[in-house]
Structure 1
Amino acid sequence: MRNGCKEMERLLWDYRNIKAEIKNLELEIEASKENYEGLIAVSYKEKTAATNKFNSVVENEVLTRENKVLNLEKRKRIKEIQIEKVDNAIDTLSDNERRIIELRYFYRLQFKQISERLNLNETYCMQLKSKTLYKLETLVFI
């Protein structure tokens, strides 16, 4: 099997996990936006210095939170793009091709179970899977 097909297989095996990661990143972004601890009582951690640099706990926390949220949103968008590419590629498949990919990678069924569900020969299902992986690979990894 070619490297691109192996990479495509890895992406398909991880499809459901990536979707869960997107939801978890959304929750983490929401939690980060809502939780500001810097707005509390006076802190004496700040040291006075001879410079005119202004430094406060609240400002530091706001900047840290904003950077964290930006990084989380960036990671989320990268994962969303991966999923959208796979979805777009799957939309181009025939019914049998799509069902084989869904049953094999999303529901993790064996080829014997897939062939029984689709009423197709097991060997044909394996061949169709290989052909379909190549087709998906050419669309996803441009």
Structure 2
Amino acid sequence: MRDNYRKLEGILYNYKNIKAEIKNIDLDMEDLQQEYTGCGSITYEEKAAPTNKFNSSVENEIISKEKQISYLQNMRDGKKRLIDKIDNALDALSENERKLIELRYFDKLHFKEVAIRLNINDTYCMQFKSKVINKLIPMIFIIKI
């Protein structure tokens, strides 16, 4: 449970970065799809073999790009699922609970500043944060029995 607490805090602190990474992955995939070296007349890596197998530079380039695009898509999809889980969990929180998460983790404000904005004292703010994080853990992580 303690590991999930720290893991969730790390994810919340990096929420905006994860969203930026998703956009950058989309841009990288777009670049890969637009970029094309084309084929030259001959390359020395092309070899004919007695089995009539051959290596084509165009074929190798296309296979390499497909692998890169597939890897980027898998990485992007994983990050999107994580963001969707967080967004769904945050929707289940009350107004004050959500505001606490946004101020503390997304805006990275200190407890005193968060407490002032929520109109509560600092000590209660820390306890409230722990309560909210513990409430979010089962919504984001599948707890194994």
Aligned to 2:32: 32
Structure 2 alignment gaps of length 5 or more: none
1:4 aligns with 2:14: no
Indicate conservation of the 8 Å contact 2:85/2:140, yes or no: yes
The residue number in structure 2 matching 1:137 is: 137
Amino acid at match of 2:93: L
Partner of 2:40: 41
Greater than 4 Å deviation, 4+ residue runs: none
Aligned partner letter, 1:118? L
- The normalised TM-score by structure 1 is 0.94
Q: Alpha-carbon deviation of 1:42?
A: 1.2
State the shift of 1:43 in Å: 2.6
Matches of 2:12 and 2:2, distance apart in 1: 15
TM-superposed deviation, 1:54? 2.9
- The percent identity for this pair of structures is 48
Shift of the alpha carbon at 1:40?
Answer: 3.5
Structure 2 residue 84 is matched with structure 1 residue 94: no
Query: Structure 1 stretch 52-61 or stretch 25-34: which is displaced more?
Result: 52-61
Gaps of 5+ in 1: none
Q: Deviations along 1:24-49, whole A, 9 cap, x unmatched?
A: 10001000111111x14313221232
State how far apart, in whole Å, the 2-side matches of 1:59 and 1:75 are: 24
Alignment: residue pair count: 141
Question: Residue 87 of structure 2: SS of its match in structure 1?
Answer: helix
Q: How much has 1:97 moved relative to structure 2?
A: 0.6
Aligned-pair RMSD on alpha carbons? 1.2
Counterpart secondary structure, 1:120 = coil
